[in-house]
Chains A and B, each alone.
Chain A
Amino acid sequence: MASAVAGFAACLAGRIAGGGSVDLEWAPTLDMRLELAFDGLAALYALLATGIGALVFAYGAGYLPLHLRHQGRSKRDARRFWPWMVLFMAAMVGLACALDLVLLFVLFDITAIASYFLIGFDRERREARGAALMAMLVTGIGAVALLIGAVLLYAEYGTFSIPELFARAEADGTTVAAAALIAVAALAKSAQVPLHFWLPRAMAAPTPVSAYLHSAAMVAAGVLVLGRIHPLLALDDRVLDGLLVVGLASIVVGSLLGLAHDELKQILAHSTISQYGYVVALYGMGGATAAGAAAFYVVAHAIAKSALFMTAGAVTEATGESRLSRLGGLWRRMPALAVASGVAAATLAALPLTLGFFKDELFFAAAVDAGPPVAAMAVVAAALTFAYIGRFWLGIFAGRPGAEPSRVPALLVAPVAVLAAVALAGGLVVAPFARLAEAAGAVTHGAPVVVDPAYHLAASAENLMALGAYALGALILAAPRAREVVVAAVARAGDVVGPRRIYGTSLAALNRWSDALHGAEVRDLRNSIAAVLVPTGVLVAVAFIVTPTEGVYQVGEIHHDDAPIVVLLILSVAAAVTVARDDGRVRPVLALSVLGFALAAAYAILGAPDVALVAVVVESVVTLAFIGVYSRLPSTEPVELVPPRRRRRPSRNVIAGIVAGITSFVAIWAALSRTSVAGGDAAEQIERTPSAHGGDVVTVTLADFRGLDTMVEITVLAVAIVGVASLLRRGRSW
């Protein structure tokens, strides 16, 4: 709470001071920079993240103890809540200021991770876990598109810096594809059709999380990215048209589903989809008017939506009911909340005297610029918004009394009242919000933007459109029967062919596939071995097919001096054949150790005593392990359990063996054909060994040149011991 207020104060101070920027090298070898700037766009989103954050935190301080008590959990569970909220806020502020695509990606993912833990806060509930995973997967996979886009741009222009990209970018195929990929990531984050399905599920989160996630963090991050990279999107009209279509589709789908649902938070969730649809559509229209309008829209929506979510939470806390059909007539019992949330709802519905009126005025103005079809769509969209939010507010506070409310802490109502006051103040004196939107719009548009909303008592296009929207919205509200038929049909269609079904099916299929593969792998020892050998063999074979092989394979000559090695190698081959063919118990083990020691001897002869020493030690360990295991086996086989003749599957075994054997043979042959002492590190270490007072390169390398590596390795060994002790012996050290 204190951190949020301090952050808000800092952002406000930064805004007044005119911003600033930081540019630090972060990973210079990868050309990544910590490039942050507190410009207009950053100011807008950072102020939202911290300002709304402060109110949400205050609300959460009242809400969370009640929530934990309802669930019968200890108060200490709050410790798993606040750190993530603070991280969420910090990541959002960072995201607002980031001017580097990689930094943008990292912070984008941090918000996803924080939201994962917050949505899944009620971890005992299955749907909360599923919702958290879904949000994480959809936005996380989307974020990969952002990274791919960033890398494409880097390959083309050699920089991750967004301002530099603006200066260099040209409208060619790669750039447009990269911009479209980044837009996909942003749209997934902002829950736009067809990637919207995660957001309603995310309502499993505690209410403060929902309020914050929907208004100022997470979902806002998507449109923030769109606003940040808009000049790249504007390079190609097809990208903008795509945005416009997605935005308008989201408005319609979100609004209709918002009308269909009965659960308070579900209505608001679909409203969020629809509202960000407006912003995306504005970005799709392009141009100065739309850029300013989009920024303004984000502010107005954030204020209204967070207030409405907190209203829903407070009502549910008071009555224990979360469904609209069970609620009603609460305005007598909770007048303060009714008035405050009424203002918030009016803001969302764009009634005059609230900040929301101007958001629609600007939206209509931009829509008129974009042509009559878009303008007509805009009126329909605004009417739907009017209808679903009217249904929401009237359903709770007006009509027949429903569930009886109990008293709720003042902390659950006060933040709503503060937000309502801000929305009202904005409806009277809009200039500060307009300046904020102008600065943000200027960043998006790349040129100065004028945002000058005001009340004009004239028959202007915007006013007529607003009146038309109110009338149409009231009509929808007044005809519940027809409305229900339509929205129920839409909701059913969405359930049958909607993207959530695709997500569920593909996730289940992936799971089944993975289970089947794992089951096959661990079914028996043969499969486990084959699972390592065969893919390795195939990969090596593929590598050989695609690399040139000319001059790589050389057949050397055999001299008389080589006789011992030849003998040892023949012995090894004989031992290997014995291991493979013998059915006994002890003979294969002994043959295995013969094989190992013969190879160790060959190393020693070839002048690699260090390798020989290690080989001897390893062979001893292996042989000893076998002896240890055999010493535990019964000395006689139980007579009644004589196994039937071993089932042979020669074809598969032979194929696996041949694939692995031939490819490793080919790989080793190729390596031996090029036995030059590698330059660089190895040569330098050989040269410097005497200066380390050493005679043996390997020893000196292990303990001196690469001492740090050795240190890490033995640390791993020590950690492994701790792990074994705690797993097998309940942590006893001896």
Chain B
Amino acid sequence: MNVVVDTIAPRLLGPSLMVAAAIIVKGYTDVGDGFSAGVIVALAISLRYITLGPELTERSLPILRYAPVATSVGMLIALGFGFAGVVAGEPPFTHHPGPGDDVVKIGTLELITAVGFDIGLFLLVTGALVTLVHHLAHLVEEVGP
């Protein structure tokens, strides 16, 4: 494999996590959402899979083991933010705080339900794509090159 890729791939994960975090934290005020953030992180991880191979990647990043868990948790979070209001008789995906109300802000991060939904979305997308890459990579390993 190309020297350039070999050098860049391991070092790309940090910046890509940073970009993903930025995309989520800046919330609603600017471009991008949980989906793009998730794909960016998954991209950096799959680049590692390609350069280092599945064994080494998963040994160096044991946290990847929890990708299926992240998928399920993300799903639950998204469902929770989307449908919790249904119990109280609201239509699904009702926005809290409502239009015109004050929003708690931490920096640019706005604490509103839709952002919570976005975080669930991010977890699900990242987890699902990493799981997919894992399965495909191991299938290739099993079948052989």
Tell me whether B29 and A695 are in contact (CB under 8 A). Answer: yes
Given A703-B114, A734-B68, do A627 and B5 touch, yes or no (CB 8 Å)? Answer: yes
Chain B CB within 8 A of A729 CB: yes
- Cα A699 to Cα B79 with chains together (Å): 18
Q: How many residues of B contact A (CB 8 A)?
A: 55
Question: Which label, helix, strand, loop or mixed, suits the secondary structure of the A interface?
Answer: helix
Q: Which residues of B contact A717 (CB under 8 A)?
A: 124-125, 128
Chain A CB within 8 A of B103 CB: yes
CB proximity to A under 8 Å, residues B9-45:
27-36, 39-40, 43
B53 nearest CB neighbor, chain A only? A631
Tell me whether B34 and A703 are in contact (CB under 8 A). Answer: yes
Chain A CB within 8 A of B84 CB: no
Chain A CB within 10 A, most for which of B1, B65, B68, B145:
B68
Nearest-Cβ distance from residue B65 to partner chain A, whole angstroms: 6
Nearest-Cβ distance from residue A614 to partner chain B, whole angstroms: 7
- Chain B 109-145 near chain A by CB (<8 Å), digits 1 or 0: 0101011011001001100100110111011100001
- Cα A704 to Cα B103 with chains together (Å): 16
Chain A CB within 10 A, most for which of B35, B36, B75, B117:
B35
- Cα A628 to Cα B47 with chains together (Å): 8
Tell me whether A692 and B47 are in contact (CB under 8 A). Answer: no
Chain B CB within 8 A of A725 CB: yes
Nearest-Cβ distance from residue B124 to partner chain A, whole angstroms: 5
Tell me whether B31 and A728 are in contact (CB under 8 A). Answer: no
- Cα A702 to Cα B99 with chains together (Å): 17
Tell me whether B121 and A710 are in contact (CB under 8 A). Answer: yes
B103 nearest CB neighbor, chain A only? A693
Tell me whether B139 and A617 are in contact (CB under 8 A). Answer: no
Partner of B31 from A609, A692, A718 at Cβ < 8 Å: A609
Chain B CB within 8 A of A632 CB: yes
Partner of B29 from A617, A627, A632, A696 at Cβ < 8 Å: A696
- Cα A688 to Cα B28 with chains together (Å): 13
A706 nearest CB neighbor, chain B only? B93
- Cα A628 to Cα B5 with chains together (Å): 11
Tell me whether A699 and B31 are in contact (CB under 8 A). Answer: yes
- Cα A155 to Cα B92 with chains together (Å): 37
Chain B CB within 8 A of A724 CB: yes
- Cα A692 to Cα B93 with chains together (Å): 12
B30 nearest CB neighbor, chain A only? A696
Tell me whether B33 and A695 are in contact (CB under 8 A). Answer: no
Q: Which residues of A contact B114 (CB under 8 A)?
A: 692, 694, 700, 703-704, 707
Nearest-Cβ distance from residue A724 to partner chain B, whole angstroms: 5
Partner of B139 from A621, A696, A728 at Cβ < 8 Å: A728
A612 nearest CB neighbor, chain B only? B31
Q: Which residues of A contact B121 (CB under 8 A)?
A: 703, 710, 714
Chain B CB within 8 A of A236 CB: no
Given A703-B114, A724-B135, A729-B139, do A694 and B75 touch, yes or no (CB 8 Å)? Answer: no
Tell me whether A708 and B31 are in contact (CB under 8 A). Answer: no
Q: Which residues of B contact A691 (CB under 8 A)?
A: 99-100
B72 nearest CB neighbor, chain A only? A718
Tell me whether B79 and A711 are in contact (CB under 8 A). Answer: yes
Q: Which residues of B contact A699 (CB under 8 A)?
A: 28, 30-33
Given A704-B93, A733-B68, do A694 and B28 touch, yes or no (CB 8 Å)? Answer: yes
B5 nearest CB neighbor, chain A only? A627
Tell me whether A728 and B47 are in contact (CB under 8 A). Answer: no
Nearest-Cβ distance from residue B133 to partner chain A, whole angstroms: 9
Q: Which residues of B contact A694 (CB under 8 A)?
A: 27-29, 114
Nearest-Cβ distance from residue A727 to partner chain B, whole angstroms: 9
Nearest-Cβ distance from residue B34 to partner chain A, whole angstroms: 7
Q: Which residues of A contact B71 (CB under 8 A)?
A: 718, 721
B139 nearest CB neighbor, chain A only? A728
Tell me whether A624 and B29 are in contact (CB under 8 A). Answer: no
Partner of A704 from B1, B95, B124 at Cβ < 8 Å: B95
Partner of A617 from B1, B39, B68, B124 at Cβ < 8 Å: B39
Chain B CB within 8 A of A528 CB: no
Nearest-Cβ distance from residue B27 to partner chain A, whole angstroms: 8
Q: Which residues of A contact B35 (CB under 8 A)?
A: 702, 710
Tell me whether A725 and B32 are in contact (CB under 8 A). Answer: no
Tell me whether A721 and B5 are in contact (CB under 8 A). Answer: no
Tell me whether B99 and A692 are in contact (CB under 8 A). Answer: yes
Chain B CB within 8 A of A720 CB: yes
- Cα A714 to Cα B128 with chains together (Å): 9
Chain B CB within 8 A of A452 CB: no
- Chain A 600-615 near chain B by CB (<8 Å), digits 1 or 0: 0000000001100110
B39 nearest CB neighbor, chain A only? A617
Tell me whether B43 and A703 are in contact (CB under 8 A). Answer: no
Tell me whether B28 and A700 are in contact (CB under 8 A). Answer: yes
Q: Which residues of B contact A693 (CB under 8 A)?
A: 28, 97, 103, 110, 112
Nearest-Cβ distance from residue B121 to partner chain A, whole angstroms: 6
Given A692-B114, A718-B128, do A614 and B36 touch, yes or no (CB 8 Å)? Answer: yes
Q: Which residues of A contact B39 (CB under 8 A)?
A: 617, 621
Nearest-Cβ distance from residue B41 to partner chain A, whole angstroms: 11
Chain B CB within 8 A of A514 CB: no
Partner of B82 from A628, A631, A711, A729 at Cβ < 8 Å: A711
- Cα A718 to Cα B67 with chains together (Å): 12
Partner of A728 from B27, B128, B136 at Cβ < 8 Å: B136
CB proximity to A under 8 Å, residues B43-78:
43, 46-47, 49-50, 65, 67-68, 71-72, 74-75, 78
- Cα A693 to Cα B106 with chains together (Å): 14
Given A610-B32, A624-B47, A733-B68, do A714 and B132 touch, yes or no (CB 8 Å)? Answer: no
- Cα A613 to Cα B138 with chains together (Å): 30
Nearest-Cβ distance from residue A16 to partner chain B, whole angstroms: 44
Chain B CB within 8 A of A325 CB: no
- Cα A721 to Cα B68 with chains together (Å): 9
Tell me whether B128 and A720 are in contact (CB under 8 A). Answer: yes
Tell me whether B32 and A721 are in contact (CB under 8 A). Answer: no
A608 nearest CB neighbor, chain B only? B31
Nearest-Cβ distance from residue A202 to partner chain B, whole angstroms: 45
Chain B CB within 8 A of A715 CB: yes
Partner of B138 from A621, A692, A720, A729 at Cβ < 8 Å: A729
Tell me whether B132 and A703 are in contact (CB under 8 A). Answer: no
Kindly list the 3 A-B residue pairs having the minimum CB-CB distance in the complex, ordered from nearest.
A694-B28, A691-B99, A695-B29
Interchain Cβ contacts under 8 Å between A and B, 12 examples: A621-B39, A624-B50, A693-B97, A693-B103, A694-B29, A696-B31, A703-B121, A711-B78, A720-B132, A721-B68, A721-B71, A734-B65
Interface residues of B (CB under 8 A from A): 1, 5, 27-36, 39-40, 43, 46-47, 49-50, 65, 67-68, 71-72, 74-75, 78-79, 82, 92-93, 95, 97, 99-100, 103, 110, 112, 114-115, 117-118, 121, 124-125, 128, 131-132, 134-136, 138-140, 145
Interface residues of A (CB under 8 A from B): 609-610, 613-614, 617, 620-621, 624, 627-628, 631-632, 688, 691-696, 698-700, 702-704, 707-708, 710-711, 714-715, 717-718, 720-721, 724-725, 728-729, 733-734
* Seed contacts A628-B50, A711-B78; 14 additional CB < 8 Å A-B pairs: A614-B36, A617-B39, A621-B43, A695-B28, A696-B29, A698-B31, A699-B33, A700-B114, A703-B34, A704-B114, A707-B117, A708-B92, A714-B75, A734-B68
